[in-house]
Amino acid sequence: MERIKIAPGVHLSCDPADKFNRCRISIHFLFPAKRQTATAHALLPLVMERGYADCPDMTQLTKELARLYGADLTVEGRPMGCSRNFCVSVTGIKDKFALCGEPLTRRYAKLALGVAFHPYLVEGAFDPEAVSIEKQMLKRALEDEFNDKRLYCMRQAAREFYGDSPAGIRQEGYLDEVDGLTGEELMQAYREMLRTASIELIVLGCTPAQTDAVRDALLEELAQVERAPAERTGFIAMPRQETVHKVERFEMVQSKLCMAFTLGQPADLEQMSVYRLAMALYGGSVTSRLFLNVREKMHLCYYCSSSFQSFTGSMVVNSGIEHADAARAEEAILKELSDLREGPITDEELEDCRRGLLSGMAGVEDTLGGIESWYYMEILRGGKIYTPQQSRQALLAVTKDQVRAVLRQFSLSVSYLLTGNEEEEPHV
Amino acid sequence: MFDDQITALECAADQWRTLPSGLTVVVRPMPEYSGTHAILATRFGSIDRNFRLGEQEFSLPAGVAHFLEHKMFEDEEGDAFAKFAKTGANANAFTSFDRTCYVFTATEQLDEGLDVLLGMVTHPYFTQGTIDKEQGIIGQEIKMYEDNPDWRLITGLCECLYYEHPIRSDIAGTCESIAQITPEMLYACCDAFYAPGNMVLAVAGRTSMEQVVAACARAGLDAPRPEKRPVRLWAEEPLTPAATSKTIRMAVAKPCFGLGFKEKPLPAGDLRDELLYDILCGCICGGMSPLYRRLYDQGLVNPGFGGEVLRVDGCCCILFTGESEQPDEVCRMLCEEIERVRAEGVDREVFTLYKNVKYGQMMENLENVEDAAGQIADFALSNQTVVQQIAALADLTAEDADRAMAEILRPERMARMDILPDGSAPEEEEE
């Protein structure tokens, strides 16, 4: 992957990725999350994905994508610690597979740039009809989060864990604010994003000439925008606190437990390989302690896994358990952490975990999505950009003591339990 | 027109070989890739409740295929995950209504990974103790799905549509049904369904047919085996549904609904009609359809609304599912649209565009090692290749769709499933 600066706060990353049948053009906007525009930024992807100036009608846009052999247009927002990533991307089959010789890549670029920079406006604001319909969709999505109990539990735990921190600003928006949003407010949030965002254009699977054309077209668009890219927000960590236990009760068959831990200090970029191996060993793989002991030996759950978020120096453990086993499960999850911190770690388990990670990293560049997410995450973390191969080398050098030291830093902040309305107390 | 696209057809070509043991091996060499994905698939799924092998008939409790999938990872020396871990491979498995698949992805030590995969399936090992141990984990998996409204809609519709067909049973069974499983039962299933002639090995990535066949030889799969063909048994059913409606309550925020239509079972290997029905679902209520637009604009459905074809031996049904505060109105509009399409014919432009989308999906599915192996395994289980599927897609016409509409989606074969909120969902948050 090559990366060059093409304008202040604007970079192009590209890879010809010849082996793939498809190509992908993505425009990433990164900007600081703000509480007052959180709901507008949650609504923006829904409104922008349904049409743009050259094709305002949702159904016609779906047909246009079908003419491009089912090209995938995605507009989505994602939280990245205290920042928001807003991405417009188009992925579709390469020109050589077109049935009638259509210049597909050119049309993908036009579509991606059109959606990102030319939304369909009515009197200078987003189309009120589209805004009204998508507000209903956003409200529904927010109300429906409860249908997926695992997701609901994770979100509730995160809300408790982050509190009023900028990292806790809800990427999904706030239900009680949706009705009041107007097309004008949405427009302001959109313009603010164009003005302040760092922009990363990622072009994969295109020829040099096609890539140059996309770059030039983006620069042309940006020439029309008054730009003042904001400083990037760095890594943060929530302070340590007394563990908070929260329980919600519903009519449900299986309890969900989500435990959020903090490092207490921002993650150290130089330690990324250590975090990776520590997660694989604790709960991020089928050779981890949580999988082998809590699931396979204790039979407490079907899933029990850990994951690490570098932007917020946090770790989350998720599990689905019997209502009556909630306390046992939490105890077992903490015991496994404690055993890794204080007890022996065998060479065999460490090497099994390392081998699995090395193998996975060797395959990162086997998918378009893998390439984009690897490099974009490297870019966002803000340090030197490592290739998967370089990170494999760093992983080979990680020792047991380093893993133990990292795991010792985590402390449990929040334990969130969704459980049934049974008479028996879950004792947490 | 699709079959004139030489570049696509060349790209879609894969290598086939049937070994003397009966095992079908399909390989897609992708030398530019770092990894390789292998799938060993057997035609044994949750619908295999009753079967005949030779002269003997067997009857199984619900959930045996899925239970066996879990237990296949264990042998006398330990578990196969640990062996895969020694190679760095990432392994998994899944069971559906009509198949069980064991998969792994590796970037190194592919020979060793193939040896583990083929070894674990050819050397099953079960004891009552290891079976008892698995009940707890699978019990949790069953409960996880019981809280999932989307899955409850599908299983509820199948229960309504069918009288006896084993599609009515949940893939994982119930805590009660899996408690009946014995080692003898699992060995009998292995004997019947894990015979090489009932299986497909599909491998895509940095490999060759020679490498894969050599691994099969090391596992003893190159030698002739007595042909064992388990015969699935199920009772013929009338096309009328067993029940026309079912309603349950659970902890959901909004009502969820499903409309299911019972269709004539398709002959084994007939993927063409399945593809046609799938495109028809798109024409009726997909993103390019006028119905979807009306429902969406009126806020009656969200993007999760859609139709799908569920097809296995002895069963074929078309299921529309979604979530709405006005499910009656959505169902009424859906039924009206089905009748309109039946009377007026499918929209020619939309039909052609859905064919385009399907073609694009097939090319996409050849792009990475996991999808490529998955797609070739899926088709190979029906003795089809990707090239044949592209040709079948090219041949489909809007007139075929009109003819099919005369037969399918009949109101007299319809059943409805509703999930209503039980009132326990959290109220809107106050700031």
Structure confidence by residue, pLDDT tens digits, B167-194: 999 999 999 999 999 999 999 999 999 9
The answer on A276 and A175 residing in a single domain is no
Average pLDDT (B335-339) is 98
Note the pLDDT tens digit of each residue in B141-159.
898 888 899 999 999 999 9
Residue A301, pLDDT score = 86
Q: Please state the length of chain B.
A: 431
- Average per-residue pLDDT for chain B: 93
The CATH number of the domain holding residue B402 is 3.30.830.10
Average pLDDT (B251-255) is 89
Q: In Å, what is the CA distance from B425 to each residue of A257, B6, B252, B304?
A: 18, 55, 6, 20
> To the nearest whole percent, how much of chain B has pLDDT over 70?
98
Residue B1, pLDDT score = 58
Q: Give the number of domains in chain B.
A: 2
The answer on B359 and B266 residing in a single domain is yes
Domain membership flag for residue A428: no
Query: Nearest-CA residue of chain A relative to B74?
Result: A296
- Average per-residue pLDDT for chain A: 95
Q: CA quadruple A248, A251, A252, A255: dihedral positive or negative?
A: positive
Our separate counts of H helices and E strands in chain B read 16, 16
- pLDDT reading at A425 higher than 70: no
Reported confidence tier of residue B429, pLDDT bands at 50, 70, 90: very low
Residue B2, pLDDT score = 59
Reported confidence tier of residue B10, pLDDT bands at 50, 70, 90: confident
- Catalytic positions of B, please? 69
The answer on A36 and A164 residing in a single domain is yes
Q: Which residues contact A339 (CB under 8 A, 6 or more apart)?
A: A289
Tokens of A125: 């604001």
- pLDDT reading at B88 higher than 70: yes
Domain membership flag for residue B240: no
Average pLDDT (B4-22) is 84
The answer on B275 and B189 residing in a single domain is no
Task: Give contacts of A248 with chain B, Cβ < 8 Å.
Answer: 426
Residue A422, pLDDT score = 62
The ipTM assigned to this model is 0.92
Residue B99, pLDDT score = 97
> To the nearest whole percent, how much of chain B has pLDDT over 90?
84
The answer on B195 and B300 residing in a single domain is no
Domain membership flag for residue A58: yes
Q: In Å, what is the CA distance from B51 to each residue of A64, B55, B66, B267, B310?
A: 48, 10, 16, 18, 21
- pLDDT reading at B237 higher than 80: yes
Residue B225, pLDDT score = 87
The answer on B251 and B337 residing in a single domain is yes
The answer on B390 and B256 residing in a single domain is yes
Domain membership flag for residue A382: yes
Token look-up 């991405």 returns A87
Beta strand segments in A21-140, E? 22-32, 72-80, 83-93, 121-122, 125-126
Provide the pairing of β-strand A10-15 with A198-204. Answer: parallel
- pLDDT reading at B404 higher than 90: yes
Domain membership flag for residue A236: no
| Interface residue A179 vs chain B (CB under 8 A) | no
The answer on A262 and A180 residing in a single domain is no
Nearest CB neighbour to B368, from listed A146, A174, A367? A367
Query: Nearest-CA residue of chain A relative to B141?
Result: A302
The answer on B227 and B103 residing in a single domain is yes
Average pLDDT (A312-337) is 95
Token look-up 């199984």 returns B60
* Domain residue limits at B291: 245-421
Residue A302, pLDDT score = 83
* Domain residue limits at A121: 2-222
The answer on A265 and A145 residing in a single domain is no
Distance CA A146, CA A148 (A): 5
Nearest CB neighbour to B357, from listed A66, A133, A322? A66
The answer on A317 and A183 residing in a single domain is no
Domain membership flag for residue A343: yes
Nearest by Cα to B147 from A419, A51, A356, A20: A419
The answer on B282 and B336 residing in a single domain is yes
The answer on A283 and A198 residing in a single domain is no
Nearest CB neighbour to B107, from listed A286, A322, A359? A359
End position of a domain, from candidates A187, A222, A257 = A222
- pLDDT reading at A428 higher than 50: no
| Interface residue A286 vs chain B (CB under 8 A) | yes
> To the nearest whole percent, how much of chain A has pLDDT over 90?
90
Reported confidence tier of residue B140, pLDDT bands at 50, 70, 90: confident
Q: Give the number of domains in chain A.
A: 2
Domain membership flag for residue A136: yes
The answer on A215 and A259 residing in a single domain is no
Note the pLDDT tens digit of each residue in A233-270.
889 999 999 999 999 998 888 999 999 999 999 999 99
Domain membership flag for residue A112: yes
A367 to B359: CB separation less than 8 angstroms, yes or no: no
Domain membership flag for residue B350: yes
Token look-up 């007139």 returns B399
Q: Please state the length of chain A.
A: 428
The angle subtended at Cα A78 by Cα A201 and Cα A260, nearest 5°, is 140
End position of a domain, from candidates B232, B257, B289 = B232
The answer on A298 and A197 residing in a single domain is no
Task: Give contacts of B137 with chain A, Cβ < 8 Å.
Answer: 295-296, 299, 301-302
The answer on A73 and A10 residing in a single domain is yes
Nearest by Cα to A111 from A94, A90, A91: A90
Residues 188-247 of A with CB under 8 A from B: none
Task: Give contacts of B146 with chain A, Cβ < 8 Å.
Answer: 253-254
Reported confidence tier of residue B4, pLDDT bands at 50, 70, 90: low
The answer on A88 and A9 residing in a single domain is yes
> To the nearest whole percent, how much of chain A has pLDDT over 70?
98
| Interface residue B242 vs chain A (CB under 8 A) | no
Task: Give contacts of A286 with chain B, Cβ < 8 Å.
Answer: 81, 85, 91
The answer on B117 and B206 residing in a single domain is yes
Residue A144, pLDDT score = 87
CA A297 to chain B, closest CA, distance in angstroms equals 8
Task: Give contacts of B257 with chain A, Cβ < 8 Å.
Answer: none
Mutate to test the interface with B, among A23, A61, A62 (most CBs of B within 10 A): A62
The CATH number of the domain holding residue A290 is 3.30.830.10
Mutate to test the interface with B, among A20, A21, A164, A289 (most CBs of B within 10 A): A21
- pLDDT reading at B431 higher than 50: no
The answer on B190 and B278 residing in a single domain is no
